Amino acid sequence: MLCASPVSSRVLVIDDHALFRSGLEMVLASGIEGLQVGQAASLEEVMRGGDPAPGLVLLDIHLKGLNGLEGLALLRRKWPRTPVVMVSSDDTPDTVREAMERGAAAFVSKDDTADSIVSVIEPLLRGAPPAQLRPVAAAEAHRLTPRQCEVLDLMCQGLSNKAIGRRLDLSENTVRSHVQATLAFLQVSSRAEAAFAARRQGLVE
């Protein structure tokens, strides 16, 4: 498990899916010691607020209202010294290129492994370039991804793959892959066992 040296800073996660925000907060808090993670559901909420500048912003592209690509310039004007990392399930080259051209410090996919996400965030908090992302096989991942945390939470609520897909705007095949990866991570063979193991480990309430 990745365990970085202490960082005394604050990260703000802007995403309109509460489950994803919580999953990402869990990933960051467990991967970077001493990190404080704030949450916001929209750019409008952030722009109205008077909070001090965070050490880093994680900004979802597909937000309700003002989307991340459109709002990136506003954030950079509000907090000019704060790096902004774009987050999206759409990690096509065109999307990544547009995010970087608009001034994003880095780009992470919602399906990246926890260690990959932390390896991007931790250097940026220290003012260093982010580590180069590399694909990591599911068997090598040490923690659930934020997306898998979302799926696990809904799975523990008894939702079917189809219902989870509708809730998260994912295909049923994609949900099935996340469920299988989650079962493997928890070392169980059924959804019921996964729910029990997740609650025992404090991964869900």
CA distances from residue 138 to 145, 184, 191, 202 in whole angstroms, order as listed:
10, 9, 18, 21
d(CA 82, CA 161): 38
Residue with the two structure tokens 């995010």: 99
d(CA 88, CA 98): 12
d(CA 57, CA 72): 10
d(CA 76, CA 82): 7
Quote the mean pLDDT of the chain. Answer: 83
In the structure encoding, which two tokens stand for residue 116, read together?
A: 């990959």
pLDDT of residue 176: 87
d(CA 167, CA 153): 12
Residue 62 neighbours by CB under 8 Å, 6+ apart:
68, 88, 89, 90
Radius of gyration, CA atoms only, the chain: 17
pTM of the model: 0.65
Question: Going from the N-terminus, what domains does the chain have, and what CATH number goes with each?
Answer: 10-125 (3.40.50.2300), 144-200 (1.10.10.10)
Please list the helix, strand and coil fractions of the chain in percent, rounded to the nearest 5, in that order.
50, 15, 40
Band (pLDDT 50/70/90 cuts) for residue 8 is very low
Contacts by 193-198 with C-beta closer than 8 Å and gap 24+?
Answer: 194/152, 194/155, 194/156, 195/155, 195/156, 198/152, 198/156
- Which of the 8 DSSP states describes residue 165? H
Which one has a higher pLDDT value, 35 or 2? Answer: 35
pLDDT of residue 131: 60
**Strands 56-60, 10-14: pairing kind:** parallel
How does 16-27 read in b/e, with b if 16+ C-beta sit within 10 Å? bbebbbbbbbbb
What pLDDT digit, counting tens, does each position of 123-155 carry? Answer: 888 887 766 543 333 333 446 788 888 899 899
What pLDDT digit, counting tens, does each position of 75-84 carry? Answer: 989 999 999 9
